[in-house]
A and B are shown apart, each in its own frame.
Chain A
Amino acid sequence: DTGVSQDPRHKITKRGQNVTFRCDPISEHNRLYWYRQTLGQGPEFLTYFQNEAQLEKSRLLSDRFSAERPKGSFSTLEIQRTEQGDSAMYLCASSLVFSGNTIYFGEGSWLTVV
């Protein structure tokens, strides 16, 4: 399978704990995106990387959220001191720079904060 891979698919955590999600993009894709999606909404942009450089962060991304893509391949999204409002599906996507902005999503990581 050469699609975008996300891990874990589901995570239940207690409020205040830290969680980390991993994303492996399509291998030749140099752009990697993180989105968040809740029921009844379209994906909300969080941040994106071109190779290892984080080029943009949404104002939705509070200080508790951090993303890395250290070698320009896989990426991690960490949420510190989780809150119940963080419960959502976290989506990773990847693309080529010159793909007409067509991005390809992974299956998502469901986070439930209890």
Chain B
Amino acid sequence: DQQVKQNSPSLSVQEGRISILNCDYTNSMFDYFLWYKKYPAEGPTFLISISSIKDKNEDGRFTVFLNKSAKHLSLHIVPSQPGDSAVYFCAASASNYQLIWGAGTKLIIKP
């Protein structure tokens, strides 16, 4: 039972354009959502998070949007840069319990 789904295994975006990564979840008890970025042979790096009391959180080029009614969140990267090429994971938790992870989306930024 996949409670957190990232339906796009990969995404290719032109440098300078917007990258939009999507994540869907099924558990309405989730109240905290996170995005991590992972380069090959390294551990995931925390990017940005959002609590369920908000619908948007912004940090520099990264913005996360949360649509609770649709059980959907998205990560926007503007403008996309070559160093953004990595695998992006979304994760969710309920009441500070264990994080549940998506399978990841590989983002490729084309020059």
Contact = CB atoms under 8 A, between A and B. Distances in A.
Interface of A: 4, 6, 40-45, 48, 56, 89, 91, 93, 98, 100-108, 110
Interface stretch (B65-73, B78-86, B91-99): B91-99
Question: Which 7 A-B residue pairs are closest in the complex by CB-CB distance?
Answer: A42-B101, A105-B43, A108-B43, A101-B93, A107-B43, A105-B44, A106-B43
Contacts of B91: 42
A44 B42 CA distance: 15
A40 B87 CA distance: 9
B62 to A, nearest CB: 14
Size class of B's contact patch?
Answer: 20 to 34
A23 B47 CA distance: 22
B103 A40 contact: yes
Interface of B: 4, 9, 32, 34, 36, 41-46, 49, 51, 89, 91, 93, 96-99, 101-104
Contacts of B93: 101
Name the prevailing secondary structure of the A interface residues. Answer: loop
Given A42-B4, A45-B98, A100-B32, 6 more contacts: A42-B101, A45-B99, A101-B32, A101-B34, A108-B43, A110-B41
Contacts of A100: 32, 49, 51, 96
21 contacts: A41-B103, A42-B91, A43-B44, A45-B98, A45-B99, A48-B98, A91-B44, A98-B96, A100-B49, A101-B32, A101-B34, A101-B93, A101-B96, A101-B97, A101-B99, A102-B46, A102-B49, A105-B36, A105-B45, A108-B41, A110-B41
Contact of A42 (B9, B51, B102): B102
Contacts of B45: 105
Contacts of B34: 101-102
